[in-house]
Chain A
Amino acid sequence: MITDISLYEVLTITTLLFFIGVYGFITRKNLISMLISVELILNASVLNFVFFNQYLYPEMLQGAIFSIFIIAVAAAETALAVAIIINLYRKISSVEVADVENMKY
């Protein structure tokens, strides 16, 4: 445990990280950048898991294990998303969000 750093400081960091991710996800025009933003969000939550685990129940490991689990899922998800994006690129030669709106109404 790092002394002098309380859970609040850590949570502030992760919250910032999370909202940076959200902001990126909403504003980025490129699908890849959006994917990266999603990674930021995930990482923010992974950090939260780890920190909560450490600060509240130091004798338990669930948080840490869960974070590993998330990382694994995130990797799979990213692979999937990239695959979709590549396929999309092959089809319309673009990874711009504006070009991918044929799933409306």
Chain B
Amino acid sequence: MDILTLFVALPALTILALIFAKDLRQSRTIAMVGSLIQLGMALNLLFAYFRERAINKEVFVFVKDVVWFESFNIHYSIGVDAISVVLILLTSIVVLAGVFISWKMPELPKEFFISLVVLSAGVYGFFISTDLFTMFVFYELAVIPMYLLIGIWGSGPREYAAMKLTLMLMGASAVLLVGILGIYFNSNADGGALTFNLLQIAEVNIPFEAQKLFFPLTFIGFAVIGALFPFHTWSPDGHASAPTAVSMLHAGVLMKLGGYGVFRVALFLLPEGALHWSWFFIILSAIGVIYGAFAAIKQTDLKYINAYSSVSHLGMVLFALLMLNKTAWNGAILQSLSHGFMTALFFALIGMIYGRTHTRDVTKLGGLLKVIPFISVIYVIAGLASLGLPGFSGFVAEMNIFVGAFQHDNLFYRIATIVSVSAIVVTAVYILRVVGMMLMGPVKNDAYLQLEKATWFERTGILLLLIPIVIIGVAPLWLSNAILDSLTPFLAHLT
């Protein structure tokens, strides 16, 4: 089996093994071993990619193509470039951390881990596909388990949140499907057969009228899961109700599908449509950046704060993608990556704090730095990373976005950039507000004095997420070079 298909096959094997698991111990061990192997494979893929790239200059490497639905010309065609490789790595790390964080999942552990693994399989499949339809199938595969995960293992108004999330994402999928079919039925514009293959479509000159029509559909279809204003409201409620590992996976990985899809499909296949519409979506995403940050200031629930912060940070991704230049795109990919790690880390920490204090209300917490120092210190670090402190990945990503966006020749785009940059101040406000209220200050509740220190599995999960943030933040050049290299064909296609 080839190196990429394994990424979908291994989760299938894990699920098979999980079915025979008897209790929590067995199922978590199986899930851990499975995702550990997955992480090993992702690391191996990273190195294999660099080796392969040195000799293979195609857009995608490790390409494989199998027909699976002949009459519509649907192929199981796979391939990766640096962008998908790093996102696969992100996924494998977050999944493993998620398994560690769910070490003590009390109810229905087997089913929980199965859903988690199904979700991850969908994500891997999405990242490796180069066929629009296959991509879409995997996308759906990733979204559906979300409903179960939130609806069954969630807290608070979980049915409501699960329903809202699923319906909004399904609604977006419907729009997306129209967009994809629109692309499909225009893929023979230059003669030839209809096709779903990304690279083949990219060579076709889809008529401008069609691009104008289908770009917004495709863009919105993907951007909803990337929390585009005003379609972001599923995310705060969804995150608030989801169990910790699910929030991590959702915000850390699933929301990245949006930006990735926009980049791979909407911008790549419909470049003229993108140029035509970019001003409009720039406005929306810039609003999202500022708006999410301001909305986060007022929240009192930790998860809501983080959810709105995600709206702001992912708004930045879409914003950068629409700037349609190399530096900004590089920034967008880096931001996806960096936000994936950071927000997963945040949710993990929030889960730990909630598990100990049974509240997520910042006004009720206080002085945790003294009681649970490890968790609190990491929270401070995550906060600082999130507000773009140099030395952490967020800074690298944001600076790429800002510099890239500011290189745009059009004054309007530069002004929009300045507006977005102002988010760095607001971000500092809401992060420090939480740090000040929750971690510093006097201990508000005597019951908190006896909180349990972080356990080994919690520490492992946290460090797994923290290390990449620091690595990217300290030494970003290799990563950014690899990404830039992969961006070139996409950029060439744009002009």
A and B touch in the complex (CB under 8 A): no
Q: Which residues of B contact A (CB under 8 A)?
A: none
